[in-house]
C-alpha cells in the first residue's frame, strides 16, 4: 500500500527513536510490517514526550481530586472551580530542548503551545508565567540563551495579548547544556462551558482550523525525548516557528465558534501535530477517525502523508463540529482570515485511517496507539541521604552584611527587572500584584475575586533529597500563594529531569514525585495538569532535578491582598515559624562558601499548614501590614526584599545565643513568613499565635533607611538596591556592545 516510500530497516526504526523491543511490540500489535507513515505515527505516539512511558507508572501516585477540581490530568489543561460560576484553567509545559537549540522560537512556541492548551478548553487566557533555568552566567552560551528566551517569550505573549505576570529565573552550571523553559498559562472560563478532546457521534466532520501545515517541527517531540550530544544546534530544523498573530486570531475564532455552539470536541495540534490530536479525539471518545490528507491546508507543495502527520507547525486546531454547524463555523473562521477545512470524519470501527491521493497510508487500531504505548518500570535507586550541616563547623570569613551584599547581587537573587520589563505585564488591566511579589495576582474580571499564581522549586534541595525537595517545591508554591492572602487550590507540575534510563536519575524522579504527592495530599493542593520533560542531558551530564510547581489560589476579595513591602516606620516585624538555622543546601552555602552539600531543610507539612492558615487568617482580618514568605536566602534576604520594595529599613534584634548567627540570618528553615504588625495589633496577634500553637518571634521594628543588626555595620538599603538592580543589566549589556 505504500509506493515510493523508504523501506523499513532497523536503522530507520532507530532513527525514529524506537528501541528494537518497541518495534517488536508494533509488529505484534498490527500483525505486519508498518508503512513508513505508520512508523512515523508510532514514533510520534510512543516517544517519551507524548507517551510518558517512563513516568506514567509513578504519576499515578499523585492526588488529583478535590471537590473543586472539575478536570484533572489527561486533558489539555486542568480545570478548577473558583466560585461564582467561574473556572480557572491552567497548565505548565516545558519547551526545553527547542529553546536550547533556537532560544527565540523555542521559547515563543512554548508560550504559544501552553496558551493554546488553555483556550482549547474554552478559556480566555488571563495570565502567563514562566520558570527559566540557565547555565552558569560564565558559560559562553548563557547570555545568548537568556536574550533569546526572554525575547521569544515577550514577543509571543505581548503580541497575543496576555499579561506575563510572574515566574522565576535561576542560574546553575548544571543547566549549561540544557536550559529549562517552563511556560504556564492560566485562563478563565464559565464553569459549565468547558470543552474537551473527547469526540462523540459517528460520521461527524473532523475539521482542521488555523494556520497551514508546513515542514517545520517534524520529529520535534522525538527530538525532545533524547539527550543532546555535540552538535545539538544542528537540530534547528526540528524547532517550530511561532506566529502570535495567527494564535490571537485562532483564540478569538475558537471562542466565537464555541460560543455559537458549533464544537463537539476540540484538540490543539501540539507535539506530534495532526497525529496526536486526531488519535486523542478518537481514542477518548471510543471512535475511529478517518483523515483525508488531500484536504489539509499546506504551506508548501508536495508534502507527503508522512510529513503532514508529523509536522508541528504552530497555531493549528482539530475539531469535531456539531451536525449542521459546518457553515456557521466556517463563516466565523473566514471572518478571522483563518483556514478551515474538513479533513475527515469520525467512524465506528476504532481504526485510525489516513488517506492521501487515493492511497491508504495508515490503518491502525486507534485505542492501542495510545493505550498500548510502552510502559516502563525503570530501575531506580534512592538518592543517598546527606548529613546535616553544623553551622558551627563552617569556616566563614564573610561578615553578615558582606554576605548579604554578595547574595542580593548574585545571579539568582539579583533583580529580574531587565527580564520582566520585556513582558507586557499590565495588559487586560487586572494585574493587581505586579512582578516582584510572592505571588502574581490578577483580578477576575471586575472583581472582587482574584487569582494568585506562583512557580516554585529549589533544584539543589531536590538533588540532595528528592523526597524532601519535591515536598518543598509544593510547600513553597502553597506558601507564596498564602503570603498574598489567597487560598491555594491546585497545582500543575512540570517535571524536568535527566535520562530516566539511569537508575540514579529515575530515583530522583520517583523521589520527587513521592514528595510532591505527599505535600499535595497533606495541603489539599491537588495536581490537575502537568508535563514531563526527560533526557535533559548533554554529553551524559544531567540537569539538577527540577520539578517546577505552578500553583493557583483564589482571593475572595482582591482588595485584601497582602504585599511584601514595609508600609510604615515603627511597625513590629515578626517571623512566624521556628528558626533553627538550617544551612544545608542553602543559598548562603552555595554563594558565599561555594559548596552545595548537606541535607536540605526538612518540610513538616502539618506545620506548613498550621502556619500558613494562621497567616492567611491574619491577612483576612487585616492584622498584618506586610507579608513575605521566607525561602532561599533565609530571613535576612526576606527582610531585604521587604526593605527594597519600600525604601524603609529596619532595626533588627541580635540572634538568640543558641543559634549560629549565619544560620539564623541565612538558614532556610521551612514554613516561615515575615510579617509586620502595627503596634496596636501586637497583643491580638500574639494571643492568636498562642491559641493556634504557632511559633512567632519578634525580629525588630521598621524604620530608617538601613538594616541595623546589633554588632554589625549598618547596611544601607539604597546601596543594596544598587547591587540588586545592577547585575542583570550589566551582564546582558556586555553582550550588546
Q: Mind telling me the catalytic residues?
A: 49, 95
359 is in an annotated binding site: no
Binding characters for another protein, 133-152, by CB under 8 A (x = yes): ------------------x-
Among 249, 257, 618, 635, binds another protein (CB under 8 A): 249
Closest distance to another protein from the beta carbon of 228 (Å): 29
Among 432, 473, 583, 715, binds another protein (CB under 8 A): 432
Write b or e for each residue in 683-693: b if 16 or more Cβ atoms lie within 10 A of its Cβ, otherwise e.
eebeebbeeee
Q: Residue 63: what are its φ and ψ, rounded to 5°?
A: -75, 130
Single out the residue of 509, 580, 594 nearest to residue 544, CA to CA: 509
- Provide the 3-class DSSP secondary structure of residue 369: helix
Pick 253 or 400: Cβ nearer another protein = 253
272 binds another protein (CB under 8 A): no
* Contacting range for another protein; rule: CB under 8 A; set: 154-162, 197-205, 259-267, 391-399: 154-162
From residue 277, how far is each of 129, 216, 273, 311, 320 by CA, in Å? Answer: 25, 17, 6, 12, 11
Closest distance to another protein from the beta carbon of 565 (Å): 15
Judged by CB under 8 A, the chain residues 697 through 736 that form the site for another protein are: 736
530 is in an annotated binding site: yes
Pick 245 or 654: Cβ nearer another protein = 245
Closest distance to another protein from the beta carbon of 417 (Å): 8
- Provide the 3-class DSSP secondary structure of residue 604: coil
312 is in an annotated binding site: yes
Binding characters for another protein, 592-631, by CB under 8 A (x = yes): ----------------------------------------
613 is in an annotated binding site: no
Closest distance to another protein from the beta carbon of 559 (Å): 7
Closest distance to another protein from the beta carbon of 165 (Å): 11
Cα 620 vs. chain centroid, distance in angstroms?
29
447 binds another protein (CB under 8 A): yes
Pick 437 or 545: Cβ nearer another protein = 437
Q: What would the DSSP string read from start to end of 1-14?
A: ---S-----HHHHH
Among 349, 390, 559, 621, binds another protein (CB under 8 A): 559
Cα 533 to Cα 495: distance, rounded to the nearest angstrom: 6
Closest distance to another protein from the beta carbon of 283 (Å): 35
From residue 568, how far is each of 573, 679, 720 by CA, in Å? Answer: 11, 11, 19
Cα 111 to Cα 107: distance, rounded to the nearest angstrom: 6
From residue 60, how far is each of 51, 56, 250, 632 by CA, in Å? Answer: 14, 7, 34, 30
Binding characters for another protein, 640-679, by CB under 8 A (x = yes): ----------------------------------------
**Can you give 17-62 as a three-state secondary structure string?**
CCCHHHHHHHHHHHCCCCCHHHHHHHHHHHCHHHHCCCCHHHHCCC
Judged by CB under 8 A, the chain residues 192 through 231 that form the site for another protein are: none
* Contacting range for another protein; rule: CB under 8 A; set: 104-112, 181-189, 416-424, 574-582: 416-424
Closest distance to another protein from the beta carbon of 648 (Å): 19
Closest distance to another protein from the beta carbon of 30 (Å): 43
Cα 228 vs. chain centroid, distance in angstroms?
22
Pick 151 or 703: Cβ nearer another protein = 151
Cα 466 to Cα 459: distance, rounded to the nearest angstrom: 9
Cα 159 to Cα 732: distance, rounded to the nearest angstrom: 23
Helix (H) or strand (E) holding 495: strand 487-496
Among 60, 61, 245, 622, binds another protein (CB under 8 A): 245
From residue 616, how far is each of 484, 606, 628, 688 by CA, in Å? Answer: 8, 15, 12, 12
Q: Which three cell numbers stand for residue 83?
A: 466560585
48 is in an annotated binding site: no
From residue 659, how far is each of 392, 395, 666 by CA, in Å? Answer: 9, 16, 11
Pick 187 or 498: Cβ nearer another protein = 187
Pick 243 or 280: Cβ nearer another protein = 243
Cα 113 to Cα 183: distance, rounded to the nearest angstrom: 9
* Contacting range for another protein; rule: CB under 8 A; set: 240-248, 381-389, 548-556, 661-669: 240-248
Judged by CB under 8 A, the chain residues 303 through 342 that form the site for another protein are: 336-337
731 is in an annotated binding site: no
From residue 15, how far is each of 102, 234, 362, 495, 536 by CA, in Å? Answer: 22, 15, 19, 26, 19
313 is in an annotated binding site: yes
Among 22, 93, 312, 424, binds another protein (CB under 8 A): 424
Residue with cell 491508504: 360
Cα 574 to Cα 616: distance, rounded to the nearest angstrom: 15
Among 102, 243, 438, 632, binds another protein (CB under 8 A): 243
Strand partners, 346: 289
Closest distance to another protein from the beta carbon of 96 (Å): 23
493 is in an annotated binding site: yes
Q: Which three cell numbers stand for residue 281?
A: 479525539
Cα 96 to Cα 183: distance, rounded to the nearest angstrom: 10
* Contacting range for another protein; rule: CB under 8 A; set: 12-20, 302-310, 340-348, 420-428: 420-428
721 is in an annotated binding site: no
Closest distance to another protein from the beta carbon of 614 (Å): 26
Among 161, 237, 370, 602, binds another protein (CB under 8 A): 161
Eight-class DSSP state of 471:
H
Q: Which three cell numbers stand for residue 123?
A: 478559556
Closest distance to another protein from the beta carbon of 441 (Å): 10
Eight-class DSSP state of 569:
T
130 is in an annotated binding site: no
* Contacting range for another protein; rule: CB under 8 A; set: 199-207, 301-309, 421-429, 540-548: 421-429
425 is in an annotated binding site: no
Closest distance to another protein from the beta carbon of 548 (Å): 24
Eight-class DSSP state of 681:
G
* Contacting range for another protein; rule: CB under 8 A; set: 207-215, 243-251, 454-462, 519-527: 243-251
Cα 474 to Cα 718: distance, rounded to the nearest angstrom: 34
Torsion of CA 138, 140, 142, 148, to 10 degrees: 150
728 in Cβ contact with 416 (< 8 Å): yes
Binding characters for another protein, 365-404, by CB under 8 A (x = yes): ----------------------------------------
Single out the residue of 493, 491, 506, 495 nearest to residue 533, CA to CA: 495
Among 53, 443, 479, 706, binds another protein (CB under 8 A): 443
Among 3, 9, 429, 691, binds another protein (CB under 8 A): 429
Count of chain residues binding another protein (CB under 8 A)? 33
Pick 124 or 141: Cβ nearer another protein = 124
Single out the residue of 382, 260, 268 nearest to residue 321, CA to CA: 260
Pick 423 or 566: Cβ nearer another protein = 423
Among 64, 105, 120, 155, binds another protein (CB under 8 A): 155
**Can you give 496-531 as a three-state secondary structure string?**
ECCCCCCHHHHHHHHHHHHHHHHHHHHCCCCEEEEE
240 is in an annotated binding site: yes
Binding residues for substrate, as ranges, are 94-97, 116, 240, 312-314, 533
Binding residues for ATP, as ranges, are 52, 91, 493, 530
Binding residues, as ranges, are 52, 91, 93-97, 116-117, 240, 268, 312-314, 493, 530-531, 533
Interface with another protein (CB under 8 A): 151, 154-155, 158-161, 243-246, 248-249, 336-337, 420-432, 443, 447, 558-559, 736
Amino acid at each position: 500500500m505504500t509506493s515510493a516510500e523508504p523501506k523499513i530497516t532497523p536503522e530507520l526504526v532507530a532513527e525514529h527513536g524506537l528501541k528494537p523491543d518497541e518495534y517488536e511490540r508494533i509488529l505484534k500489535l498490527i500483525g505486519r510490517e508498518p508503512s513508513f507513515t505508520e512508523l512515523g505515527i508510532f514514533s510520534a505516539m510512543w516517544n517519551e514526550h507524548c507517551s510518558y512511558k517512563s513516568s506514567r507508572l509513578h504519576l499515578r501516585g499523585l492526588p488529583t481530586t478535590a471537590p473543586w477540581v472539575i478536570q484533572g490530568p489527561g486533558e489539555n489543561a486542568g480545570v478548577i472551580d473558583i466560585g461564582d460560576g467561574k473556572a480557572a484553567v491552567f497548565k505548565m509545559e516545558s519547551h526545553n530542548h527547542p529553546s536550547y537549540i533556537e532560544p527565540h522560537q523555542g521559547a515563543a512556541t512554548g508560550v504559544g503551545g501552553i496558551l493554546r492548551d488553555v483556550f482549547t478548553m474554552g478559556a480566555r487566557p488571563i495570565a502567563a508565567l514562566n520558570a527559566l533555568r540557565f547555565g552558569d552566567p560564565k558559560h559562553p552560551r548563557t547570555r545568548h540563551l537568556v536574550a533569546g528566551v526572554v525575547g521569544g517569550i515577550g514577543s509571543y505573549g505581548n503580541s497575543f495579548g496576555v499579561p506575563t505576570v510572574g515566574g522565576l529565573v535561576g542560574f546553575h552550571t548544571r543547566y549549561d547544556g540544557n536550559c529549562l523553559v517552563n511556560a504556564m498559562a492560566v485562563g478563565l472560563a464559565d464553569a459549565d462551558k468547558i470543552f474537551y478532546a473527547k469526540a462523540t457521534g459517528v460520521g461527524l466532520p473532523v475539521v482542521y482550523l488555523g494556520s497551514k501545515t508546513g515542514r517545520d517541527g517534524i520529529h520535534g517531540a522525538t527530538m525532545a525525548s533524547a539527550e543532546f550530544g555535540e552538535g545539538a544546534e544542528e537540530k534547528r530544523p526540528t524547532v517550530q516557528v511561532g506566529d502570535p498573530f495567527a494564535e490571537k486570531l485562532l483564540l478569538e475564532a475558537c471562542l466565537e465558534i464555541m460560543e455559537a455552539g458549533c464544537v463537539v470536541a476540540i484538540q490543539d495540534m501540539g507535539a506530534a501535530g495532526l497525529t496526536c490530536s486526531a488519535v486523542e479525539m478518537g481514542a477518548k471518545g471510543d471512535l475511529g477517525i478517518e483523515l483525508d490528507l488531500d484536504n489539509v491546508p499546506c504551506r508548501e507543495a508536495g508534502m507527503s502523508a508522512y510529513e503532514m502527520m508529523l509536522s508541528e507547525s504552530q497555531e493549528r486546531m482539530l475539531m469535531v463540529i456539531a451536525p449542521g454547524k459546518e457553515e456557521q463555523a466556517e463563516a466565523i473562521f473566514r471572518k478571522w482570515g483563518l483556514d478551515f477545512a474538513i479533513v475527515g470524519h469520525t467512524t465506528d470501527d476504532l481504526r485510525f485511517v489516513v488517506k492521501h491521493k487515493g492511497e491508504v497510508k495508515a490503518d491502525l487500531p486507534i485505542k492501542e496507539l495510545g493505550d498500548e504505548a510502552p510502559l516502563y518500570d525503570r530501575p531506580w535507586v534512592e538518592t543517598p541521604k546527606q548529613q546535616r550541616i553544623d553551622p558551627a563547623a563552617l569556616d566563614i570569613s564573610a561578615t553578615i552584611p558582606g554576605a548579604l551584599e554578595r547574595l542580593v547581587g548574585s545571579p539568582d537573587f539579583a533583580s529580574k527587572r531587565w527580564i520582566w520589563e520585556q513582558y507586557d505585564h499590565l495588559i487586560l488591566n487586572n494585574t493587581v500584584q505586579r512582578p516582584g511579589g510572592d505571588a502574581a495576582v490578577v483580578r477576575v474580571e471586575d472583581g472582587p475575586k482574584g487569582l494568585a499564581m506562583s512557580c516554585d522549586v529549589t533544584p539543589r534541595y531536590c538533588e540532595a533529597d528528592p523526597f524532601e525537595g519535591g515536598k518543598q517545591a509544593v510547600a513553597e508554591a502553597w506558601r507564596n500563594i498564602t503570603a498574598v492572602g489567597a487560598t491555594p487550590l491546585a497545582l500543575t507540575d512540570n517535571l524536568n529531569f535527566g535520562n530516566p534510563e539511569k537508575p540514579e536519575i529515575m530515583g530522583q524522579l520517583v523521589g520527587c514525585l513521592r514528595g510532591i504527592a505527599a505535600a499535595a495530599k497533606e495541603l489539599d493542593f491537588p495536581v490537575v495538569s502537568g508535563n514531563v520533560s526527560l533526557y535533559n542531558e548533554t554529553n551524559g551530564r544531567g540537569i539538577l532535578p527540577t520539578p517546577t510547581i505552578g500553583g493557583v489560589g483564589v482571593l475572595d476579595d482582591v482588595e485584601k491582598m497582602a504585599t511584601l513591602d514595609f508600609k510604615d516606620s515603627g511597625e513590629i516585624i515578626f517571623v512566624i515559624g521556628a528558626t533553627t538555622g538550617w544551612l544545608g543546601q542553602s543559598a548562603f552555602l552555595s554563594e558565599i562558601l561555594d559548596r552545595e552539600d548537606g541535607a536540605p531543610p526538612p518540610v513538616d507539612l502539618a506545620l506548613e499548614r498550621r502556619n500558613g492558615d494562621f497567616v492567611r487568617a491574619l491577612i483576612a482580618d487585616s492584622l498584618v501590614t506586610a507579608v513575605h514568605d521566607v525561602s532561599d536566602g533565609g530571613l535576612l534576604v526576606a527582610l531585604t526584599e521587604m526593605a527594597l520594595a519600600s525604601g524603609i529599613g529596619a532595626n533588627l534584634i541580635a540572634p538568640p545565643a543558641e543559634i549560629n548567627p549565619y544560620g539564623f540570618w541565612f538558614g532556610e528553615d521551612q514554613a516561615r513568613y515575615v510579617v509586620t504588625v502595627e503596634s496596636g495589633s501586637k497583643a491580638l496577634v500574639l494571643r492568636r499565635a498562642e491559641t493556634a500553637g504557632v511559633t512567632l518571634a519578634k525580629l525588630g521594628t521598621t524604620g530608617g533607611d538601613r538594616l541595623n543588626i546589633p554588632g554589625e555595620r549598618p547596611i544601607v538599603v539604597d546601596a543594596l538596591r544598587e547591587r540588586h538592580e545592577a547585575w542583570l543589566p550589566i551582564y546582558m549589556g556586555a553582550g550588546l556592545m
